Amino acid sequence: MSDWLIPDWPAPAGVKACVTTRAGGVSLAPFDSLNLGDHVDDSPLAVAENRRRLTEHFAIQPAWLQQVHGIAVSHADPGTVATADASWTATPGIACAAMTADCLPVLFCDRAGTRVAAAHAGWRGLAAGVLEATLDTLALPAAEVLVWLGPAIGPQAFEVGPEVRETFVAQLPEAAVAFTPGVSAGKFMADIYQLARLRLAVHGVTAVYGGGFCTVTDPRFFSYRRNPRTGRFASLIWLNR
């Protein structure tokens, strides 16, 4: 089992990205083993060692966030822990990071390789506009933006209530195609990848890659829906030094 997943997308040579998996760390069950979340009741020493291994392997300085399912976008600063659900940088060696365990991590860069961003998009943040807020902060022409959708809960596992469907469809009627009847009466299966693509397309961003994962069924990744007491993996993007 690989310790890292390298995104498959046509990012420029100066842009680097990775997704961590569960392998390669020191955390004990149920956080085994490369848990990067410091808010899940894992040993602080284990989390610190896991983060050290990540930063040393890639020679980066991750800018960790306190994620709150909102739309705030922070300038990536490894010296602070901003309360935000997205970050961006134009400084080489500083990595924007999104920690997840079923929510959708979204990586952004421009075709010229001058700036990067990472967003954490659970359904609440996605509906509230975290992707749009990230695009606004990057302030790039839509045609210049490349996006990669990282591992998240897949459409066959993401059963939601009717209020979730209503929230998205009220904002964008086309979003109805991202919902199918659920297993439980009155509920729906939601395709968070399709929802993200639809919202990005409204803003002219169509160079969108990734989106073929399911954290619930793929044992490489932590999944809150599979086991509520679990760790967090990270999707990171940075400009090469």
Q: What percent of the chain has pLDDT over 90?
A: 98
Please give the residue range of the domain that contains residue 102: 4-239
Query: For the domain that residue 112 is a member of, what is the CATH number?
Result: 3.60.140.10
> Are 65 and 83 spatial neighbours (Cβ–Cβ below 8 Å)?
yes
pLDDT exceeds cutoff 70 at 51: yes
Q: How confident is the model at residue 3 (pLDDT cuts 50, 70, 90)?
A: confident
The sheet carrying 145-149 orders its strands as: 73-75, 86-89, 116-121, 104-110, 145-149, 208-210
- The DSSP-derived string for the chain is --SEE---S---TTEEEEEE-S-S--PPTTS-S----SSSS--HHHHHHHHHHHHHHHT-EEE-EE--SS--EEE--TTS-EE-SEEEE-STTEEEEEEESSSEEEEEEETTSS-EEEEEE-HHHHHHTHHHHHHHHHT--GGGEEEEE-S---TTT-EE-HHHHHHHHHH-GGGGGGEEE-SSTT-EEE-HHHHHHHHHHHTT---EEE----TTT-TTS--TTT-SS---EEEEEEE--
Work out the mean pLDDT of the chain and round it to a whole number: 97
pLDDT at 30: 97
> For residue range 173-229, what is the model confidence (pLDDT) as tens digits?
999 999 999 999 999 999 999 999 999 999 999 999 999 999 999 999 999 999 999
**Mean pLDDT along residues 101-130:** 98
Domain count, the chain: 1
Angle (CA) 127 108 208, round 5°: 75
pLDDT exceeds cutoff 50 at 50: yes
> For residue range 104-113, what is the model confidence (pLDDT) as tens digits?
999 999 999 9
> For residue range 141-183, what is the model confidence (pLDDT) as tens digits?
999 999 999 999 999 999 999 999 999 999 999 999 999 999 9
Give the 3-state secondary structure of 43-62: CHHHHHHHHHHHHHHHCCEE
pLDDT exceeds cutoff 60 at 236: yes
Q: How confident is the model at residue 2 (pLDDT cuts 50, 70, 90)?
A: low
pLDDT at 1: 41
